[in-house]
Chains A and B, each alone.
Chain A
């Protein structure tokens, strides 16, 4: 992560951060207190990027006003001063009025939407996709010569979509000539229009074979804003994503955001670039992983999409690798019916502790789709939504594992053999056994009436192995903290673990399945020893803020709980809303959609978690 500012973090004491979302602008104040950095107040107001207001700063000002009112701290000037910043800035740390820094993220207007193109889907297209996703974009389509589509289908698809930016890759440096040029021709054939501003020229970032950069420019430059950068795949065994990502950020700020209503003014209020919301969320995940030396999976499940972020250590060189994926039509409201279609009705139904007809389930979820702001009133309805959530999380994680195979955006090497076989799960960087923390975010997880059910959903969807801590982002503060972390990572990290995350507990789970009733683990707690058997799910009370040292002894030579097959480990486990969860249900979790016993089984799990149904 590169920092792009000259702000001195040591001089900061009061910071305001906003996230200008599609519907709501959320403002949060971070303050340096005697107790360290804390999140002290929060205000929000409807986002005003749409007509009739069509000026994002109006919604932001309303959120600042609420923040000022709630915090009791005067942060705004009494009268507006043209387009200049509305804030009072402190001249010394003793001032009781004003702030030191304002930062912001934005996903208003649907966020950053891109098309990526590459010669071969598992090679250059995948590299381009990783570059775009890492920059916080939604990838509307990934075009490649081997994507199985006819040329006219590709042209028609590109023409139909209205992206903010196209990223074109293809060919290593000095390598293939015809395929990248053919892709450039395909883009010209389609001649897509930018999403905003009919008269703007759509930016096309060229990050393919550098030897034919001029020829690509000849094809594209007359119709598009042609932006050449270093190849995302300069060699077969080397990926270099940073230049393309930087170009995406630059274009996002100066070509996309500056044309969105009011953003020019907003850009002038903050000394550091406004980040796309998912990019900022990702920065916070990376900061936490770095500061705490953790391996993390975080998920943000929204109404339309599910974003998955991960930081794992590379198998080859122990360096942390960050990955982000967006599953575009897996969400809990606008695309809830699509989860049902992609997962299948039986897959959703298997998580239900009650019977429901297929027609009833379909119609209920479609009614949620068309009335997205309604909330479950009955337990049955809530559990149905949570069943859909499990499947959305599971599918999005499968998607993530498929893409989280590459190298980080800095220059690294892998063997040619590895490069050729990079597709498929075998090469996934996701190592569940070494995963330390799973973070859930998004309404269905963050606002679940009973936090234990959030732990239960994360447990079922991710099937953690070994010892894994579970937490939830309490109020969607991660984007704010992510953009703040660009200036002051340790302060952002302090607030993250103290005010943003709510601990749900820790899961201990063996990595295999044995015969029902077979002994799996012996877990020695402070004053108690528990033997976990195959098929069992146990919840041991361990409250928030409690930390316990446990000794875990595998009772079968094949079980690897983190120390190697059959080897015992000693770990400190963190308590939370659910407690210490011992999951002996087996990996993979066998809950066949066709099993008529599921209803009873799932009901017993709810009882174990203490969730009334």
Chain B
């Protein structure tokens, strides 16, 4: 049966991370099992079909479609170059000649006699897929995908925008509940010898729009912070996000939030881990997809040190003593320790009868919350 609670997002100093890299269409694998790759190593390549030009031959030459057939100089399958003659017609007893040439080269893919449309497919566009994380190739599906594995520190966020980027972790020296403003970013950028180019900034409760823009202007690759409000997100992305499928936004840096919407301090464990990772190379991706086969945004710092992993605790289930975070009002965002897990469903304020747990919140309050409304904190 499905779990009655959310397993929680991973924040781990060491774990085994696998990332499958896939081509959108059949192509070539550039690596073999056992190869070591860096984040920017090309691992797969393919040729994407080029754009197609449609030449409306009859329209362009001012003839009926049936009349241009005899003048066609190319046929389906021909390779044509830019400026090549495709149709030539003589009129007025051969006194005048109408000619039509291509704008761009390519391959003739179709010619429709009914409307005299000629389709010329431009040369294919080479596509390379990079490794994204440094590690070892453990599986190759020839021409389709490769699997890369590494031991790494992993921080999962709850929501993000923007795609894959590589940068250096920069743990911000600010309080967990600090609202990061543009002046903070400018100050940090000025104090760093190399500025913030390709930096992955981690910290604070949230960034205002000025801070996000300042980070982008300074060349930062990504921002990882506790939360964001709807208004700032809109200003940053340029439009409202109504559906939780992201990753393709045209944004100057990747943004990952770890706690949720509103103003919530970044989690202690994220802050602590980011301090340990300061200065290390990270792979980040803001892509979020909440539906089945959920995808959460992530920050990965490969270390290839399995000894660290061996020392990591086995994840705990939902049991007394487990650390949890409440993900719904009235205790939204609060952390606590599970004290009891009554087995029988209980009636809550809404009138629904659901399975609950009792929790000692860090604020000192004892509360009863539905099990569906907590996330396990995986230390």
Contacts and interface: CB of A to CB of B under 8 A. Distances in A.
B117 to A, nearest CB: 6
Given A191-B49, A370-B290, A342 B352 contact: no
A199 B26 contact: yes
Interface stretch (A82-90, A259-267, A361-369, A545-553): A361-369
B349 A375 contact: no
A375 B23 CA distance: 38
A23 B3 CA distance: 12
A381 B109 contact: no
Interface in B117-146: 117, 119, 144
A544 interface: no
B272 interface: no
B244 to A, nearest CB: 5
B332 interface: yes
A248 to B, nearest CB: 23
B369 A372 contact: no
A372 B290 contact: yes
Interface string B176-213: 00000000000000000000000000000000000000
Interface in B332-376: 332, 348-354, 369-370, 372-373, 375
A367 B327 contact: yes
A449 B351 CA distance: 5
Contacts of A173: none
Interface in A351-388: 359, 362-364, 366-367, 369-382
B332 A367 contact: yes
Contact of A212 (B109, B114, B117): B114
Contacts of B373: 374-375, 377
B24 A375 contact: no
A314 interface: no
B324 interface: no
B52 interface: yes
Interface in A99-130: 110
A219 interface: yes
A378 B229 CA distance: 22
Interface in B150-165: 158-159
B316 interface: no
Task: From B229, B243, B260, B353, name the one whose CB has the most chain A CB atoms within 10 angstroms.
Answer: B243
B243 A363 contact: no
A46 B158 CA distance: 23
A215 B242 CA distance: 42
B261 A188 contact: no
Contacts of B245: 334
Contacts of B6: 371, 373-374
B231 interface: yes
Contacts of B119: 185, 188-189, 219
Contacts of B2: 23-24, 46
A363 B261 contact: yes
Nearest to B348: A377
B370 A377 contact: yes
Given A340-B242, A377-B350, A369 B112 contact: no
Nearest to A177: B114
A334 B244 contact: yes
B188 to A, nearest CB: 27
B319 interface: no
Contacts of A370: 158-159, 244, 260-261, 288, 290
A218 interface: yes
Contacts of A303: 291
Task: From B117, B244, B262, B370, name the one whose CB has the most chain A CB atoms within 10 angstroms.
Answer: B244
A329 interface: yes
Contacts of B49: 191
Contacts of B115: 177-178, 181-182
Task: From A22, A370, A372, A382, name the one whose CB has the most chain B CB atoms within 10 angstroms.
Answer: A370
B262 A369 contact: no
Interface in B7-58: 23-26, 49, 51-52, 54
B311 interface: no
A292 B275 CA distance: 68
A367 B262 contact: yes
A193 interface: yes
Interface string A46-89: 11001000000000000000000000000000000000000000
B241 interface: yes
Contact of B52 (A46, A189, A215): A189
A337 B237 CA distance: 15
A337 B242 contact: yes
A474 to B, nearest CB: 15
Contact of B328 (A110, A374, A379): A374
- 8 closest Cβ contacts across the A-B interface? A338-B242, A449-B351, A449-B352, A362-B230, A366-B261, A189-B52, A363-B261, A22-B292
17 contacts: A22-B292, A50-B293, A182-B115, A189-B54, A212-B114, A218-B110, A303-B291, A337-B241, A342-B242, A364-B261, A366-B230, A371-B327, A371-B328, A377-B349, A377-B370, A378-B349, A449-B352
Interface of A: 22-24, 44-47, 50, 110, 155, 177-178, 181-182, 185, 188-189, 191, 193, 198-199, 212, 215, 218-219, 303-304, 329, 333-335, 337-342, 359, 362-364, 366-367, 369-382, 447, 449-450
